[in-house]
Chains A and B, each alone.
Chain A
Amino acid sequence: MTSQSASARMTSRASARALNRRAARVEKTQLLLAEFENTSDVLHAAEVMRRAGYQKWDVHSPFPIHGMDAAMGLKDSRLGWTVLLFALTGLTGAFVMMYWMGGVDYPFVAGGKPPGALPPMAPIIFELTILFSAFGTVLGMLHLNRMPRHNHPVFSSERFKGASDHRFFVSVDSRDKNFDAGRTRALLESNHASFIELIEVTS
């Protein structure tokens, strides 16, 4: 009971701190959302933005667009390393567990095989390696994407719903050093943005 309430208190304090931080960050910022009708336009726009040296911006699409990473100048995903780490944990963990349980803590002879024999461990070592890698992959992905994040400025736009259907968006954060509401809007308009809106992000 006690430890439960303790953890509760702890979380509430943590959440408070987190809130303040967020509040500070999103204080009076804006988000420019430009809508495009097809992949080629948004790809082109992305090229332009990159050349214009924007940093805090992103592209939204219902499916991954071929060549977009290059267009945005994104580097390769670092996910692989996380997975490797988890995989090794699973592998060693499985071996250590089985060797300790069967060979050290309570050794016994079954079927004339010596305790702690290696061959029968192979399947479980393999399975646990896979299991841990799988968790590593998903958790790693979520972490790199800062997910889950249920509340995000872009959701304030009604039109943004198209982003999961058949529309394409470019979003620019006002905290980007190159950001200028007017110029950025012009830039995107000149690149076949079919619709542009400015989202006020306030707490």
Chain B
Amino acid sequence: MYHEPILELGEEPLVKPGSTLHDITEDVCRVAESKMPRAWYVAFSIALVFVAIFAVSVATLFWRGIGAWGNTGPTFWAWDITNFVWWVGIGHAGTLISAVLFIFRQRWRTAINRFAEAMTLFAVLGAMTFAGIHVGRPWVIYYLFPLPDQMSLWPSFKSPLLWDVFAVGTYFTVSLLFWFTGLVPDLATMRDRATTPWRRRVFGFFAMGWRGSNRSWRNYERAYLILAGISTPLVISVHSVVAMDFATSIIPGWHTTIFPPYFVVGAVFSGFAMVMTVLLVARKIFKLERVILPRHLDLMNKVILLTSCLIGFAYATEFFIAWYSGNPYELYVFKNRAVGPYSWAYWTMVVCNVIVPQIFWKKSMRTNVPVMWVVSILINVGMWFERFVIIVTSLHRDFLPSSWGMFHPSIVDIGTFTGSIGVFFAGFLLFMRYLPVVAMSEVKGTMAQADPHYVAHHAEPEDGVSRESAAAALAMEAES
């Protein structure tokens, strides 16, 4: 049975020194309990505008057909699938941070995992939306599911697209369960602090009568461990399957064995970037500096730097193999990416994903909030272009030059894409408005006070007692 290891000697604390357990509860719950700051309302109304744009765009799409988008022969897929893959990718940070870092005992994850998981849910929702609306006849999309019907016909399990349906569906469900499981103890906290009866009822309902009983904690922790355990391969499998949509095809530029790992890394990369983008803003607005320390950001930036290098390596490998394979079609596609009509997209991608993140080699950059925020935005852009490059530049010039063509996005393309971002943030803002944005019980578990051997003889100061004493105590502990 696994316990969060407690603060070891010399280890930097994961929360602001001197914080008490109660401080954590206060800091986190305040966000969801007190009135939202001005900034929240501004952000939310902007998001709503884009939600409207999204609604209109999708309505147009359904009314006229896929032709309302810029998709055409030979680029039968374009922004629709680009957005799908982009959102799925972003959706990977959540489970990764929660599960993988949990397995690797990266205790610093506790500050950000709740964020990341919530983000996962909304991102994957976005992805599923695009998967749903990109089909020509959405009203018969149920053909995708193995339902008995009077045609006595079943879906074809040979199609990677169907694998996708199961993979993404599973991923969303499991992420939801994982997120909710982690939420239960904190919901109990919200319940116990609730002042109005309806808050009490709602939070109470979802807290399912959690009593922090140790007999429950025992099963709870095991469940959490198992979920983390199965989510880790799930994360990897899901984006591998998404990659197989392309890898199992025969289109030069798609038919590549490197795709699954390459996509997974890309997903982690973009996911962390998006977490960063959102986290920094929330940290500022909701004054979470106490739980989200520069150290956390530093560590995340290290991950970003690592994945950025891996991505760069993947790009290089693709080119090498294209040359080494001696396949003229393959080689042409990659030449075309670098110098063809879409080279601008390709180089945007390279700069944003490989060049820019290199500044994180400098520690000062890794802890400089404005810088990392800009970088994270650029990475989001870069990763979107990566998918665009893979999909459009591979399709627009494949085997027979006679069928080559160009893709031009329509206004509806732009509407659906930007709109989906609006939907994402709207959902996310609501999450921050009503739910604990940091996993309190987990953070508390990492604190000095969580350690039973923590100076028993002078108990944790009562509320209101100056924090200095606690800090002193901590210092003493550190020396002895």
Contacts and interface: CB of A to CB of B under 8 A. Distances in A.
B209 A135 contact: no
B226 A106 contact: no
Contacts of B170: 127-128, 130-131, 134
A109 to B, nearest CB: 10
A193 interface: no
A60 B216 CA distance: 9
B42 interface: no
Given A43-B452, A74-B214, A106 B3 contact: no
Interface stretch (A22-30, A116-124, A180-188): A116-124
Given A134-B174, A150-B209, A165-B193, A105 B157 contact: no
9 contacts: A80-B222, A101-B146, A113-B158, A141-B220, A145-B220, A155-B209, A163-B192, A164-B191, A165-B21
Contacts of B210: 147, 164
Contacts of B419: none
Contact of A145 (B153, B216, B230): B216
B156 interface: yes
Given A37-B460, A138-B181, A155-B209, 17 more contacts: A59-B214, A62-B189, A64-B3, A66-B6, A69-B1, A72-B214, A97-B146, A120-B158, A127-B169, A130-B233, A131-B173, A133-B226, A135-B177, A144-B219, A150-B209, A155-B211, A164-B189
B226 A83 contact: yes
B64 interface: no
Given A39-B452, A131-B170, A152 B212 contact: no
B237 A102 contact: no
A151 interface: yes
Contacts of B452: 39-40, 43, 65-67
Interface residues of A, number: 71
Most A CB within 10 A of own CB, among B218, B441, B451: B218
A61 B214 contact: yes
A178 interface: no
B44 interface: no
Interface size class of B (residues with CB under 8 A): 35 or more
A142 interface: yes
Contacts of A46: 214
Contacts of A120: 157-158, 163
Contacts of B160: 123
A38 to B, nearest CB: 5
A69 B215 CA distance: 8
A131 B222 CA distance: 17
A195 interface: no
A38 B458 CA distance: 10
B456 A41 contact: yes
B213 interface: yes
Contacts of B189: 62, 164-165
Nearest to B456: A40
A177 interface: no
B156 A63 contact: no
A111 interface: yes
A137 interface: yes
B27 interface: no
Interface of B: 1, 3-4, 6, 20-22, 25, 146, 152-158, 160, 162-163, 166-167, 169-170, 173-174, 177-178, 180-181, 185, 188-189, 191-193, 204-205, 208-223, 226-227, 230-231, 233-234, 237-238, 241, 244, 440-442, 444-445, 449-454, 456, 459-460
A160 B152 CA distance: 58
Given A58-B215, A152-B211, A166 B237 contact: no
B1 to A, nearest CB: 6
Contacts of A38: 449, 454, 456, 459-460
B185 A150 contact: no
A21 interface: no
A98 B205 CA distance: 39
A124 B162 contact: yes
| A-B pairs with lowest CB-CB distance, top 7 | A148-B208, A166-B21, A141-B223, A161-B192, A101-B154, A40-B456, A149-B209
Contacts of A20: none
Contacts of B167: 123, 127
B454 A161 contact: no
A160 B170 CA distance: 38
Nearest to B167: A127
A101 B191 CA distance: 48
B214 A77 contact: no
B60 to A, nearest CB: 34
A18 B383 CA distance: 56
Given A59-B213, A165-B21, A130 B230 contact: yes
Interface in A74-129: 74, 76-77, 79-80, 83, 97-98, 101-102, 105-106, 110-111, 113, 117, 120-121, 123-124, 126-128
A40 B453 contact: yes
A165 B214 contact: no
B214 A65 contact: yes
Contacts of A138: 177, 180-181, 223, 227
Nearest to A168: B212
Contact of B223 (A72, A101, A137, A151): A137
